[in-house]
């Protein structure tokens, strides 16, 4: 049976986006994941939370994550529930944070959003129009 993966946008804030990845990662699904990260990393400033709680991440590539971080100098990537070997291989200083669970990631989200300027109505409408249905 081929491996499949699903990526959903769960939350949009003034400075942050939260996407959830579910299913199985494989060599075949690395490119769609890279594309999704780049797609949702469009607003500035941006913290992108990538939740792997419901994902089989054995095949997640630290190289691919480092590539995404290096390609976008402003992106702050927050990885949730990734294996320790990924967090060690992908350590990128202040531009990448690792969260062992959703609770700690959500606490960080709240800290970031409380310090962010409010999202304008126009910006919110544009984000809703660009958001694919779940």
* pTM for the full predicted model: 0.78
The full set of domain ranges for the chain reads: 5-130
CB burial of 26-36 (b: ≥16 within 10 Å; e: otherwise) equals eeebbeebbeb
Residues 6 or more apart whose CB falls under 8 angstroms from that of 100 comprise 81
Architecture of the domain defined by 5-130: 2-Layer Sandwich (3.30)
**How far, in Å, CA of 88 to CA of 85, rounded?**
5
pLDDT digits (tens, 9 = 90+) for 7-59: 999 999 988 999 999 988 777 777 888 888 888 877 666 899 999 998 887 66
For residues 72 and 77, what is the distance between their CA atoms, to the nearest angstrom?
A: 10
How do residues 85-132 score in pLDDT, each as one tens digit? Answer: 777 666 656 678 889 999 999 999 999 999 887 766 444 444 554 554
């Amino acid at each position: 049976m081929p491996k499949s993966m699903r990526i959903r946008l769960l939350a949009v804030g003034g400075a942050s986006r939260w996407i959830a990845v579910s299913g199985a990662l494989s060599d075949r699904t690395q490119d769609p994941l890279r594309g999704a990260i780049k797609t949702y990393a469009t607003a500035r400033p941006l913290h992108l939370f990538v939740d792997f709680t419901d994902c089989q991440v054995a095949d997640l590539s630290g190289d691919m994550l480092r590539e995404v971080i290096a390609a976008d100098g402003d992106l702050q990537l927050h990885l949730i529930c990734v294996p320790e070997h990924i967090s060690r291989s992908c350590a990128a200083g202040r531009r990448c944070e690792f969260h062992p669970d959703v609770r700690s990631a959500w606490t960080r989200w709240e800290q970031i959003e409380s310090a962010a300027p409010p999202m304008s109505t126009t910006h919110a409408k544009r984000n809703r129009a660009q958001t694919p249905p779940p």
